Amino acid sequence: MRKIEQQYQVALVSWFGFSYPKFAHLLIQIPNEGKRSLVGNVIMKRMGLKKGASDLFLAVPSINHYGFFIELKQKGKKPTKEQYQFIENVKGVGYKAEWYDDWILAKKDIALYLCKAKVSN
């Protein structure tokens, strides 16, 4: 993950924890990136690592979705082919999934999503 993307993610997760302390433990990072040895990659794939999986998952159902996958990119960058495919795949089975190159836009969408949460904020 690029440094600026890390900063976006830290900002988003920090805001979320402050704004929604009841749900803070339900915004989960998917550690899909990082340098690993060949053996480490094989082990991680066997453990469920999926190329293209989104950065974050909000494990809160809404009236329309089972949960919300969030992919963060650096300003002006776009998801990879695998990331686009992952987003489409999870949308196809009832999840909300979006990508953002601005954490403020992600923040606004999360707030809107939680307005329709099946559990009280």
What's this model's pTM, rounded to 2 decimal places? 0.88
121 pLDDT tier (thresholds 50, 70, 90):
low
Q: What percent of the chain has pLDDT over 90?
A: 70
pLDDT at 104 over 70: yes
For 3-115, give the CATH class. Answer: alpha beta
- Domain extent listing, the chain: 3-115
Query: If pLDDT is split at 50, 70 and 90, which confidence band does 51 have?
Result: confident
Looking at residue 37, its pLDDT comes to 67
- pLDDT in the model for residue 5: 86
Cα–Cα separations (whole angstroms), residue 41 to 16, 29, 57, 109: 31, 18, 22, 33
pLDDT at 3: 85
Token reading at 60: 């809160």
- pLDDT per residue over 5-17, tens digit each? 889 999 999 999 9
